[in-house]
Amino acid sequence: MDLKKQFSDKALEDFKLIDQAVKEDDEQAFAMLMDRYKRPVYHMVLKMVRNVDDAEDLTIEAFAKAFKNLARFKKDYTFSTWLFRIATNNAIDFIRKKRLETMSLDTSYTDDSGEAVQIDVEDKNLNPQEEAIKSQKIELIQLFVTKLPAKYQRLVKLRYFDELSYEEIAQELDAPLGTVKAQLHRARELMYDLVKNKKEHI
């Protein structure tokens, strides 16, 4: 198969970077792939989840998953197509989980006029697929947490493992909301660096 006829120059450059990353464990190649696609992946995910903080988190996860599985990448399609598919699936899983936090139960309860009443109850139990997604996510983040400076570790655990909102984290740590946001932003930047540095996290 003649890759030159099938793919753009940019796609061919990506293939070269992937070869360097996988065969030579070239950290610079990982960094270049991330620099190329971090912004477009983030913007695509942001359109899906409509929340800046969640989009940042999901972008990190997408790159972590992609880099962890880079050796399995086949040059049947472009790296960007593959990466965007990982990011999209990750975001869809996230949206599904958010929506599934409440589920409807049909009950035999009827109101005064004899109409059946539907009661929404929060479903704290994840189905097997969601459990797998959550444990995979936790496994990825655990790889990073121990390598972060101590002051960020608790913040990251509260955000990613306990899935608390920024407001809840601020309450939990008795810290100003602005400080929590700033420190989590810094923790994310450090996590991006860890994702780039394959040897550190895989």
152 to each of 32, 110, 190, 198, how far by Cα in Å?
Answer: 26, 51, 10, 21
List Cβ neighbours of 57 (8 Å cut-off, separation of 6 or more). 159, 160, 188
Q: Is domain 8-201 classified as CATH 1.10.10.10?
A: no
How crowded is the C-beta side of 39, counted as CA atoms within 13 Å?
A: 3
Q: Is the dihedral of CA 58, 90, 33, 70 positive or negative?
A: positive
pLDDT (tens digit per residue) in 24-74: 888 899 999 999 999 999 999 999 998 888 899 899 989 988 998 899 999
> Which residue reads 């983030």 in tokens?
42
The DSSP code for 160 is I
- 118-173 residue pLDDT tens: 434 344 455 566 566 566 666 666 777 888 888 898 898 888 778 888 899 999 99
